[in-house]
């Protein structure tokens, strides 16, 4: 099923689920990005092959909310749970994308979520990943981030609703390279859409490099966005994470290959500091 409001679509934001538990948060982030990029939101619900294979085995049990005793998992109960999850995800996408008046589509497939996303993503697409940064979720997130298609335009990691700011500023991180120009442009568009300020984290070795970043930011942000700049030296991910925590942003835009995202530890540190959606351009 597809909803197609007026307006040309230049790219897609692909968001996948294996359950409905994170649908609201992922759809909100995906729809915001689709709005500023004039993109289509592609919803993909994947029935996990591994879970289906486990259903019906005598030792498999599940303890649901309110249950006092674990219950067996059968092929029928698994199919019912997946069907309900798909309906919930599609409904969430329909409502949120409808309000934003962005094009959207939804489909249900069987397989492994990361593999399905890789099979459909192209160089002009953005891919959405869950921002689960606790316990095994953090390990899974980093594996998915590393395995996401190298040719996609960017990866959007969702935040955590219960503690993420909805009205805080947008932060764009620029280390002076050409990709930094894209982070400023996109950060400014998101800030304008959210009607919040834009903070530039200028990562520079010296005053001259910092002044170049500031001048570029002022020329790209436009008059409709309130712009402030904070400077950092390269190789200071903990300082950037601490500053991020202080500003409590509602969105962050950075470069997956640039500062301060050179390793998994730095990525997780920033995610834990802000709890907001983080878009990493590639």
Length of the chain: 282
Angle (CA) 67 71 77, round 5°: 110
Assess whether pLDDT exceeds 80 at residue 50: no
Report the share of the chain in percent with pLDDT over 70.
83
Q: Give the pTM.
A: 0.84
Per-residue pLDDT band at 203 (split at 50, 70, 90): very high
- Is residue 84 within 8 A of residue 20, CB to CB? The reply is yes
CATH number of this structure's domain 170-281? 3.40.50.620
Domains 9-157 and 170-281 share a fold: yes
CATH number of this structure's domain 9-157? 3.40.50.620
Q: Return the domain boundaries, the chain.
A: 9-157, 170-281
Assess whether pLDDT exceeds 80 at residue 159: no
Assess whether pLDDT exceeds 80 at residue 260: yes
Q: Tens digit of pLDDT for each residue in 231-259?
A: 999 999 899 999 998 998 999 999 988 88
Predicted local confidence at residue 51, as pLDDT: 73
């Amino acid at each position: 099923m597809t909803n197609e409001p007026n307006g040309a679509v230049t790219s897609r934001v692909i968001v996948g689920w294996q359950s409905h538990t994170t649908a609201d948060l992922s759809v909100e982030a995906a729809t915001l990005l689709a709005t500023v990029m004039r993109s289509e939101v592609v919803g993909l619900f994947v029935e996990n092959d591994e879970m289906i294979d486990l259903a019906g085995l005598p030792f498999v049990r599940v303890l649901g909310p309110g249950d006092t005793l674990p219950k067996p998992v059968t092929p029928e109960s698994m199919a019912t749970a997946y069907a309900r999850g798909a309906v919930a995800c599609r409904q969430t996408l329909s409502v949120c994308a409808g309000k934003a008046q962005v094009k959207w589509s939804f489909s249900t497939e069987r397989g492994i979520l990361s593999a399905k996303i890789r099979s459909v993503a192209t160089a002009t697409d953005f891919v959405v990943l869950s921002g689960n940064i606790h316990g095994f979720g953090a390990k899974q997130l980093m594996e998915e981030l590393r395995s996401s298609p190298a040719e996609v335009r960017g990866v959007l990691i969702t935040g955590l609703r219960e503690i993420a700011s909805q009205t805080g500023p947008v932060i764009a991180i620029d280390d002076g390279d050409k990709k930094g120009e894209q982070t400023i442009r996109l950060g400014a568009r998101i800030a304008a859409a959210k009607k919040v300020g834009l903070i530039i984290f200028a990562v520079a070795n010296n005053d001259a490099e910092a002044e170049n970043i500031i001048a570029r930011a002022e020329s790209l942000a436009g008059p409709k966005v309130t712009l402030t700049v904070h400077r950092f030296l390269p190789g200071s991910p903990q300082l950037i994470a601490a500053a991020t925590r202080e500003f409590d942003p509602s969105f962050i835009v950075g470069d997956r290959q640039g500062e301060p995202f050179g390793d998994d530890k730095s990525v997780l540190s920033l995610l834990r500091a802000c709890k907001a959606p983080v878009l990493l351009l590639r």
